[in-house]
Chains A and B, each alone.
Chain A
Amino acid sequence: MRSTAGWLGRVIVLAASLAVAGSLTLGLGVGPWRLVTWLGRHGSPVHAAIAAWLIAAPAVLLVAAALRRRTSWPWVGATTLFLLALTVAVARFPHLVPTRGWVLLAALLVAALVSVVTAFPADAEEDQSV
């Protein structure tokens, strides 16, 4: 059950990161590199960094998921940064987030936390392995 919940959590986080990156690269009508440099040039370096990270996040999360059997920390770090970037973006521009966006964000947070919790061995398993 732990492995199923963890797998599902990781799939949801990866799918969400792809959806966000896709909307930034295809949905804005501006090329990704152009979007990032334009934001940087016009006094929004934090937004440029957030946009750059959200565009790169699917690849980073995919690598972190592949490394998960060796160590859970890349997945925890990448997921935390992905959630952090999304949180800051929606807190900065709440009026641009439709109602269903908040619901999806809450569902994503739950899925991401499940993937983080299940990324580490249960205490009993850890005790047995010692």
Chain B
Amino acid sequence: MRSNSLGWIIAGAIVIVLALAGGVTAIVLASGGDPTSVQEVADKAVDAAEDLDVDAGIDLLCDAPSKEDREGLESLIDEAQDDADTDDPDVDYEVSHVKGDAEGSFEVRITSSEKDLAGKELAFRVVVEKDGDRSCIADAESLD
């Protein structure tokens, strides 16, 4: 391959841009502070759910959720929004049965004060595992 000054200069510039973008993103991410206990995971999960904060919710996962999990969550949200006739139904989350320290589980019971969702209740047992230094959500199973 013959010398190609312009191509190599541009390739070098691309590497620098990518390193800066990836580095800055990673530094911002690291400054957020990961949860290190089941209780912290439960608190952050409720905060993320109440704010419908996608970023914060994904941060709590150990691995990428399966397609079935994503479809299940999507249909659950759709159903609640349709029943309540609003995109942002008023939902309450009650955490209980927090077990373990860095690893363990907690239960969360979801109810709503929306008139059309009255009487409906969802309950999940959330499994928390350790991934390096952080505690994260490994699985969630319905208790109903």
A91 located at the interface, meaning its Cβ lies under 8 Å from any Cβ of chain B in the complex: yes
Q: Which residues of B contact A (CB under 8 A)?
A: 1-8, 10-11, 14-15, 17-18, 21-23, 25-26, 29, 51-55, 58-59, 61-64, 67-68, 70-71, 74, 87, 131, 136
Q: How far is the CB of A97 from chain B (nearest CB, A)?
A: 8
Bound form: Cα–Cα A109–B10 in Å: 14
Q: How large is the interface on A (under 10, 10 to 19, 20 to 34, 35 or more residues)?
A: 35 or more
**How many pairs, one residue from A and one from B, have CB atoms within 8 Å of each other in the complex?**
103
A122 located at the interface, meaning its Cβ lies under 8 Å from any Cβ of chain B in the complex: yes
Does B22 lie within 8 Å of A2, measured CB to CB? no
Contact with B along A99-130 (1 / 0, CB 8 A): 00000000001001100111111111100000
Residues of A contacting B: mostly: helix
Our pick among B10, B18, B61 for the contact of A84 (Cβ within 8 Å) is B18
Bound form: Cα–Cα A124–B1 in Å: 11
Does B70 lie within 8 Å of A95, measured CB to CB? no
Q: Which residues of A contact B (CB under 8 A)?
A: 1-2, 5, 27-30, 38-39, 41-44, 47, 76, 79-80, 83-84, 87-88, 90-96, 98, 109, 112-113, 116-125
